[in-house]
Amino acid sequence: MSIQRNIASLRVSPIGLGCMNLSHAYGTPPDARQAEAVLLGALDAGVDFFDTAALYGFGANETLVGKVLGPHRQRFTLASKCGMQGVDGVRVIDGRPATLKATCEASLQRLNTDVIDLYYLHRWDKNVPIEDSVGALAGLVQEGKIRHIGLSEVSAATLRRAHAVHPIAALQTEYSLWTRNPEIAVLQACRDLGTAFVAFSPLGRGFLTGTLRDVGTLAAKDIRRAMPRFEPANYAANLPLLKPLQALADKAGCTPAQLALAWLLAQGEHIIAIPGTTQLHHLQEDLHAAHIQIDADILRRAGEAINQHTVTAPRYAAATQTEIDTEEF
């Protein structure tokens, strides 16, 4: 397995850091000291790809990343996102060109940088042609404010439409043992176009670590509470999937999280994983997955144990599903 992977002209390690849960989504975020320790610990551990967004903490995550990592800007590739953000305390999807340009200006300030290496359209605003949104991002490339364009949660067809306007360096969507939707078409479309595939939630939002046994312990504002797979009955139905995963991890001499990440990276040299964590020891465990050698038969059996046929319930509720453009089984 290659130690570094390509995002257009950029070279990054196969496992980066998704910064979202340092400010957003999974209940009360860690305090500033702990968040800073995770970011700096990641940098010291060799992480060279950090992923944030205007949405996360409604700007707070970009501010955190800019403050803590800004002095080390030359040491890493920086990714952020536009097209979905907080407006007066409400999450809004808005892909109009003027909005995207304004969001970028605000993000540059918060991130304490002159240029964002990879700038994603966080969601395709279906009221705006994808060509118009990508055209606006292409303008930001020409102005030198961003280096490369990415898309998030879109289909292969939308990727191809966007790529016809301007090369798309990366496509980001959920991919893991228990979320296989990219295998329908997007993974191949990325291969065809030379687009990197960035997998968020590569550990199944904690499920594949084997450490979350009782969803009743989730914080009241944890976004997983609104996800079908984390409803108590569905989660109980999915828990038995962890037994064979643990057995295979034991056989490989690694943790279930490391096995899940190794399986993901083995699905293609164009795949990069961005697990998120608030604990430095979890991050160090995750990063080791890029360096361990696991027998191909064990990886195959892991994929057979947990996949779209064995997992109970879809990843998103119906209302959320309408906001994205990914292929569904």
Encode pLDDT of 17-40 as tens digits.
Answer: 999 999 988 989 999 999 999 999
Residue-level pLDDT at 3: 86
Say whether 56 is catalytic.
yes
CA distance 15 to 1: 12
Residue 312 in tokens = 């109970």
* Measured CA distances, 222 to 25, 29, 103, 218, 239 (Å): 6, 10, 26, 6, 19
Residue-level pLDDT at 18: 98
Residue 7 — very low, low, confident or very high, per pLDDT cuts 50/70/90? very high
Residue 27 in tokens = 């209940």
Q: Tell the CATH superfamily of the 5-321 domain.
A: NADP-dependent oxidoreductase domain (3.20.20.100)
Residue 157 in tokens = 């067809």
Q: Locate the domains of the chain by residue range.
A: 5-321
Residue 237 — very low, low, confident or very high, per pLDDT cuts 50/70/90? very high
CA distance 17 to 272: 10
CA distance 313 to 48: 35
The single residue listed with the structure tokens 């849960």 is 21
Asked if residue 1 has pLDDT above 50, the reply is: no
% the chain with pLDDT above 70 = 99
Query: What value, to the nearest 5°, has the Cα angle with vertex 123 and ends 311 and 310?
Result: 5
Length of the chain: 329
Encode pLDDT of 123-149 as tens digits.
Answer: 999 999 999 999 999 999 999 999 999
Contact 48, 77 (CB under 8 A): yes
Which residue among 56, 120, 175, 316 is the active-site one?
A: 56
Residue 2 — very low, low, confident or very high, per pLDDT cuts 50/70/90? low
Residue-level pLDDT at 26: 93
Handedness of CA 295, 296, 297, 301 (dihedral sign): positive
244 phi/psi in degrees, rounded to 5:
-65, -30
Give this prediction's pTM: 0.97
